[in-house]
Amino acid sequence: MRRPPMLMRVRIRGEEQNISLWLPLFLLLPLMVLLLIILSPLILIAILALRVTGREDAMSRLIKILLGSLCSIRGIRAAVELLCSLPGLRVDLSNHKERIYVSVI
């Protein structure tokens, strides 16, 4: 089984200043789950309010698809698989003055 990412390293190199950050992603994951738990009743109340008032058409088709996929077992599984495939990701952006390097470990 694959594991979720633990750290993200961000390096920004400029002409005058260099910045290097190590961000612990394993500390952010519980915060994201807590935020999802806190916001889920609000999302459900909004959906129910739109259905009861008959304004279900006010929700665009894209929002319905996104909410339906995020609230299904298949959508949650896809999100976890996407999260677990992030280790090894490297992004390197540069121009003539600056360079930004992001690595997920």
The answer to whether the CB of 89 falls within 8 A of the CB of 104 is yes
Tens of pLDDT along 16-52? 889 999 989 888 878 878 887 888 888 778 777 777 7
Provide the 10 A C-beta neighbour count for residue 28: 12
Q: Is the pTM of this model over 0.75?
A: no
Distance CA 27, CA 37 (A): 17
What confidence category does residue 59 fall into, taking pLDDT thresholds of 50, 70 and 90?
A: low
Question: Measuring CA to CA, which residue among 31, 25, 29, 36 is closest to residue 70?
Answer: 36
Tens of pLDDT along 66-91? 777 777 788 778 888 888 898 999 99
Quick one: pLDDT at residue 102? Answer: 94
Distance CA 47, CA 56 (A): 8
